[in-house]
Amino acid sequence: MKIALAGAGAFGIKHLDGLKKIDGVEVVALVGRRREPTQEVADKYGIPHVFTELEDALALSEVDAVILCTPTQMHAAQAIACMKAGKHVQVEIPLADTWQDAQDVLDTQQATGLICMVGHTRRFNPSHQWVHKRIESGELKLQQMDVQTYFFRRTNMNALGQPRSWTDHLLWHHAAHTVDLFAYQAGSPVVKANAVEGPHHPDLGIAMDMSIQLKAANGAICTLSLSFNNDGPLGTFFRYIGDTGTYIARYDDLVDGKEQPIDVSQVDVSMNGIELQDREFVAAIREGREPNSSVAQVLACYKVLHDLDQQLQA
């Protein structure tokens, strides 16, 4: 399978590291905004074609699929362009930053019948997989999730500490992880959602702090706190409160409510969520089936985000 990857930044490199561990997969094209740094990454990973425009990569007949790690605002239009060019596509989270764009991507997927998967990585992290399997087996019923998503990011910087060409967003990007994961783990759709936000940054024009409450149809609830102002431990931390136990997920580590470690190393073939995500994308294409985290499966998340956005604007 030959893949083109667009976006040679922090997350693009994570995908390149994951893809090189999958048998029978070759990245044949790399697309980046600036040619020189994109070429450097391509040379490091042995990628033969380098472009500054996605259309040039889509024109390669050898390309079977595309992974998009580009700025949020480009995701929907680029995903649609990939499918219209006959390529399967995995688009990094978020799928879109408007409800209409998200629907348009699903419409294109249904019209073409191609694989369109969204990078909701939390579905694939072994710690969250371990909890999900307990819920699926009936050993655990989720009653509450308490989630903290914290960064110290008062300028446009990426995960590598490099300047970004676009502005990140707490609601449409970072909340998307938890809104989708909550419904996925509860096994029940979100039926109630509320949000409040703090002051907007004078230059970035976005809220730097946000709080979200969710309720699923089966009664489970979720509280999510997000901040770009947090000068402390960074990342996202999940507390699962269930009827038979409490579990805390920090990155790929999982402990119970008494901080006793739980071994999740055998949950899947890797501890790398991005690699597992890419493995699912490749397997779905090879097997001709819908992937976990398909655009159809995650679309409801973006309706919740839209409703919250409307609420905040009002």
Peptide bond into 94 cis (omega under 30): yes
Give the Cα separation of 66 and 128 in Å (integer).
26
| CB-CB contact of 153 with 145 (8 Å) | no
Give the per-residue pLDDT at 169: 87
Identify the DSSP state of 172.
I
pLDDT value of position 158: 62
CA–CA separation, 89 and 67 (whole Å):
6
Predicted local confidence at residue 154, as pLDDT: 81
What contacts 32, CB < 8 A, 6 or more positions away? 6, 7, 8, 38, 41, 50, 51, 52
Domains located in the chain, CATH noted: 2-119+274-293 (3.40.50.720), 125-267 (3.30.360.10)
pLDDT tens track, the chain, 314 positions: 999 999 999 899 999 999 999 999 999 999 999 999 999 999 999 999 999 999 999 999 999 999 999 999 999 999 999 999 999 999 999 999 999 999 999 999 999 999 999 999 999 999 999 999 999 999 999 999 999 999 988 877 666 666 666 668 899 999 999 999 999 999 999 999 999 999 999 888 889 999 999 999 999 999 999 999 999 888 999 999 999 999 999 988 999 999 999 999 999 999 999 999 999 999 999 999 999 999 999 999 999 999 999 999 99
Tell me the whole-structure pTM to 2 decimals.
0.94
Surface-to-core class of residue 241, CB atoms within 10 Å of its CB (0-12 exposed, 13-18 middle, 19+ buried): middle
Which residues does 256 contact at the CB level (< 8 Å), separation at least 6? Answer: 245, 246, 247, 248, 262
Closest C-alpha among 313, 297, 277, 306 to residue 97: 306
Alpha carbon distance 131, 236 (integer Å): 16
Give me the phi and psi of 267, to 5 degrees please.
Answer: -65, -40
CA 307/CA 311 separation, integer angstroms: 6
Q: Which three-class secondary structure state does DSSP give residue 283? A: helix
Question: How far apart (Å, rounded) are the C-alpha atoms in residues 190 and 235?
Answer: 24
pLDDT at site 233: 87
